[in-house]
Chain A
Amino acid sequence: MKLKGLFLVGILLICSIFAASTIELTVWTHEDPNRTLLEDRYIEEFQKLHPEVSIKRVTYPSAKIRETVLTAFSAGKGPDIFNMEVQDEYPYIVNQRVAPVNPIAMGYKNVEEIYDAYLEGTLNPVSYQGKLYGVPLEITNWCIFVNKRYTNALGMDFDNNYPKTWEALMEIADQLTVRNGEIITRRGFDFRYPYYLTFFIPMVEQLGGYLLNEDGTEAIINEKAWIDVLTFMKEWGPSGRNLGSPTYTAARKNWNKDDGSIVMCESGLYQILRLKSENPDLFHSDDWMIIPWPTFENAVNPVKGNYYGHYYMVNAQSSSEKQEWAWKLIAYMLQHTNEYFEQVGLIQPTYELMDSAVFKEFPFANVFMNDMSQAGCVLLHQAGPRLEELIREAVESVMLSGVSPENAVKTLKSKATEVLEDY
């Protein structure tokens, strides 16, 4: 009886020691079915290599992950690893909620070696006060996806003469748009509302305007540029030439369906592989192409649409042991750069990928990279989401509520100045 008891105690002790030595990592990321297939496999492989590590990967809709991560962090229960759009991750860096990258755990000699592995500038968004806080899962910029069935039908030869300016795009979109009275049944092109920091700000910058001055103390620089772009948007909306509106279904969602409701939309390279899985007939046809992001005819600054990224980050409140394993897992997943690109269409901007045949031979990859070389990163500021909301109000007020661009800019400037006072 005594022996039996001792045996049981021994078993329990072994179990508790074993349980204590297991590292549990939680990974929160946004939904992407193609990527889930890959990362589930990587995690399985990693767990086989390191049986002492147990990983729980949870996905959330892109629109939901921002608030889920925020509420978890504010309660001190954030995941060990997460990724979001970099403008949403930036406050986590500034508030020291994420840990600096551990180069040794990632298999690099030092941080400089990580910088050397990635295209110049692509780690800048996650570099803060001399430290690096994340590594890119994907960097995205937008170009224009074109369904040539509709352009060809109107005798437009996009292969040799595609619209290079916003003004030309507006004219062509007008010809391609089909309406039933005031109701648009087919849009020639429409913007990607409400991501105004990604597409609207570069349009303003093309005309010489800026959202903030250099030291970030003043907002809405060069009001004329803002008024000109808002005038363009007013002309685009229902009260102008009625070419599109934020209230129609997102253009990129319908583009893959080829259902006759949209001819051109803005999207990233990842959309190509989504097209492949959602509409293989269109994907394998010659009926689509991707053209560079336009500039205004009188652009003084020929920038392209801003790029944004999703960076993997590690919770600074996780134990140092967990942090180390977290960076090891991230490094393990990201060593499959080519597969991420081939299977999901995600650009991890490493020199290794850029120099690979896979990338060079991928359809339209050069269009995206040419534009990327002239693109800036989306605004990184603690007030970024608030400023984007104000820009949204301004654009929608001229497009939908009949406010004049001059008044919209005046209101925007006053509200943006008030917001900046909070930071």
Chain B
Amino acid sequence: MIEYLTTDRHALYVVAAYGATAAILGWLVWTTLAANARARREMQDAEQRRKR
């Protein structure tokens, strides 16, 4: 791995491509899960208030 990163002349490009993909997908998953948790909370709050 380290040998690849230091000797391959295209290593930077490959790392950049994988890094950018990880960043975008990570951001997508993060915002999706956060929005899901928020929606779940809001729905439960609303349903509880209705029961009372």
The answer to whether A and B interact is: no
Q: What residues make up the interface of B, taking CB atoms closer than 8 Å to A?
A: none
Q: What residues make up the interface of A, taking CB atoms closer than 8 Å to B?
A: none
